Amino acid sequence: MKVIENGVVAPLGFKANGIEAGIREGKKRIDLALITSSVKATAAAVYTTNLVKAAPIYVTKDNLADGYAQAMICNAGNANTCNADGIEIATKTCELLAKELNISAKDIIVASTGVIGMPMSIKPVENGMAKLVAGLDNKKENADLAVKGIMTTDTVAKTIAVEFEIGGKVCKMGAMTKGAGMIHPQMATMLCFVTTDAKISSKMLNEALKDVVDDTFNMLSVDGDTSTNDTLSIMANGLAGNKEITEKNADYEAFKNALYFVCENLARRMAKDGEGATRLLECVVTGAKTKQDARIVAKSVICSSLLKAAIFGSDANWGRVLCAIGYSKADLDINKVDVDFKSRKGQIAVCRNGAGVPFSEEIAKEILLEDEIEVVVNLNSGEGESKAFGCDLTYDYVKINGDYRS
């Protein structure tokens, strides 16, 4: 597998664009993004588990019922959530795009991000649609415009593309994501759009997506709030020419490995760009009785507000790690637990067999001053392992969310 350029337009047959449509009132920013495939693609998606769901999720679920799509459109600046006419707006967006592209409105993935509960007008989308479609291209600049069109409080664009082989055929996969706040499993708050020219059935695409999301985006948390708009979608147009993947074989594993690489890379970058964050916090758990126990522990550790605050202050307060493990409800023996802190500056043991061990506070401080911190947990009770991604908790998180609507 090789990391390549061009993000979502790296795979054959995909184009993208992003424009300033005027959805964000009073703000001059790109706020409407589009990705298209030259041919109809197999498609799959997973969504938020919040009972309050954005209108575009209902429309997209209905559109993807047959397992196919040919375009994705997303606006920023308004979540289109809790609006009486939300379904109507999302449906009309698909109809406007379908007319410009000369495709079926049922072959469109639609999404929104922004403020919840704010009235939304279709007019900016309607007025900008022709320009959005006319500017479609497969250049890197277009992929960059598209990812900017889905960003809200993100401080950096998050996009990636990879090249891999299936049955001797070179395949490519690209992705872009947004998310910095309201991030917590299941799913982590985010929008993520994946493109690939690999050929895979809708059934297997769904299987791969569900397999991968549990170990990547569902292991990501910034602030414990699960959003209303979370959508992770993928379109696979088959233009790479590989034999269609219709079962769980070696080709399926190669495809899933590429998808895992892409999703884990973006999940880590989302955690590092958490609202107000100064550090990426990763918890790596080994020695659990089961994989599920490892997942539970890893999530509990990175979700601890007290630990997140300690990481912000570069304080090696390992007791907060043990505390988070203790209330995680995983099946474990706390008297067997080992904990280390790790970064580019080194690794230091702070707990063995559930009890503290002597360590240098100065060395620990130096390790925790780095911008990527790893909490290494060994439960010493089995073969289960997992990792979770989060960030520190800073003053700026409160500032950002205190005036988010203003």
Which of 175-189, 246-260, 334-348 is predicted with the least confidence, judged by mean pLDDT?
175-189
pLDDT in tens, 15-28: 999 999 999 777 78
**What is the number of other CB atoms lying within 10 angstroms of the CB of residue 30?**
22
Domain check: are 200 and 323 in the same one? Answer: no
Domain check: are 66 and 131 in the same one? Answer: yes
Question: Is the pLDDT score of 349 beyond 90?
Answer: yes
pLDDT, averaged across the chain: 92
Residue 2: phi and psi, rounded to 5, are: -135, 135
Sequence letter at residue 20: E
- Whether 290 sits among the annotated catalytic residues: the reply is no
Task: Enter the tokens of residue 220.
Answer: 């990501």
Domain check: are 72 and 177 in the same one? Answer: yes
Sequence letter at residue 406: S
SS3 318: coil
The answer to whether the beta carbons of residues 100 and 129 sit under 8 Å apart is yes
| pLDDT given at position 276 | 72
Nearest CA among 71, 66, 111, 67 for reference residue 89: 111
Domain check: are 70 and 201 in the same one? Answer: yes
Domain check: are 300 and 237 in the same one? Answer: no
| pLDDT given at position 188 | 42
Residue in 60, 91, 189, 231 annotated catalytic: 189
- Write down which residue in 228, 255, 272 finishes a domain: 272
pLDDT confidence of 37, banded at 50, 70, 90?
very high
Sequence letter at residue 68: Y
pTM of whole model > 0.85? yes
pLDDT in tens, 108-121: 999 999 888 889 99
Spatial separation of the C-alpha atoms in residues 166 and 57, rounded to whole Å: 32
pLDDT confidence of 185, banded at 50, 70, 90?
low
Domain check: are 265 and 298 in the same one? Answer: no
Domain check: are 247 and 289 in the same one? Answer: no
**What is the residue range of 245's domain?**
2-272
Spatial separation of the C-alpha atoms in residues 88 and 173, rounded to whole Å: 32
Nearest CA among 130, 113, 125, 14 for reference residue 70: 14
The answer to whether the beta carbons of residues 351 and 317 sit under 8 Å apart is no
Q: What is the average pLDDT across 154-168?
A: 94
Question: Is the pLDDT score of 51 beyond 60?
Answer: yes
SS3 175: strand
Q: How far is CA 85 from the centre of its chain?
A: 28
pLDDT in tens, 232-257: 999 999 999 999 999 999 999 999 99
Say which DSSP state 238 is in. -
Spatial separation of the C-alpha atoms in residues 337 and 321, rounded to whole Å: 10
| pLDDT given at position 271 | 84
pLDDT confidence of 404, banded at 50, 70, 90?
low
- Write down which residue in 250, 272, 294 finishes a domain: 272
Question: Is the pLDDT score of 406 beyond 50?
Answer: no
Domain check: are 262 and 296 in the same one? Answer: no
The answer to whether the beta carbons of residues 252 and 210 sit under 8 Å apart is no
- Write down which residue in 272, 293, 327 finishes a domain: 272
pLDDT confidence of 187, banded at 50, 70, 90?
very low
What is the count of structural domains for the chain?
2
Q: What is the average pLDDT across 339-344?
A: 98
Question: Is the pLDDT score of 1 beyond 80?
Answer: yes
Domain check: are 228 and 363 in the same one? Answer: no
Task: Enter the tokens of residue 64.
Answer: 């993807």
Report the b/e string of 62-78 with b at 16+ CB within 10 A: ebbeeebbbbbbbbbbb
| pLDDT given at position 38 | 98
Domain check: are 231 and 180 in the same one? Answer: yes
Sheet holding 355-356, edge to edge: 355-356, 346-352, 338-343, 372-378, 280-288, 384-391
Spatial separation of the C-alpha atoms in residues 245 and 169, rounded to whole Å: 13
Question: Exposed, middle or buried: residue 57 (CB in 10 Å: 0-12, 13-18, 19+)?
Answer: buried
Say which DSSP state 22 is in. S
Domain check: are 264 and 344 in the same one? Answer: no
Task: Enter the tokens of residue 91.
Answer: 């449906």
Spatial separation of the C-alpha atoms in residues 121 and 83, rounded to whole Å: 11
Spatial separation of the C-alpha atoms in residues 283 and 376, rounded to whole Å: 6
% of the chain residues with pLDDT over 70: 95
Report the run of H or E that residue 35 belongs to, with start and end.
strand 32-47
Domain check: are 31 and 177 in the same one? Answer: yes
Radius of gyration (C-alpha) of the chain in whole angstroms: 22
**What is the number of other CB atoms lying within 10 angstroms of the CB of residue 369?**
12
| pLDDT given at position 310 | 95
Sequence letter at residue 247: E
Sequence letter at residue 196: T
**What is the number of other CB atoms lying within 10 angstroms of the CB of residue 79?**
26
CATH number where 86 lies: 3.60.70.12
Task: Enter the tokens of residue 57.
Answer: 């999720």
| pLDDT given at position 226 | 65
- End-to-end CA distance of the chain: give it in Å, rounded: 44
Spatial separation of the C-alpha atoms in residues 336 and 391, rounded to whole Å: 26
| pLDDT given at position 62 | 98
Question: Is the pLDDT score of 265 beyond 60?
Answer: yes
CATH number where 317 lies: 3.10.20.340
Spatial separation of the C-alpha atoms in residues 309 and 314, rounded to whole Å: 9
% of the chain residues with pLDDT over 90: 79
pLDDT confidence of 154, banded at 50, 70, 90?
confident
Say which DSSP state 218 is in. G
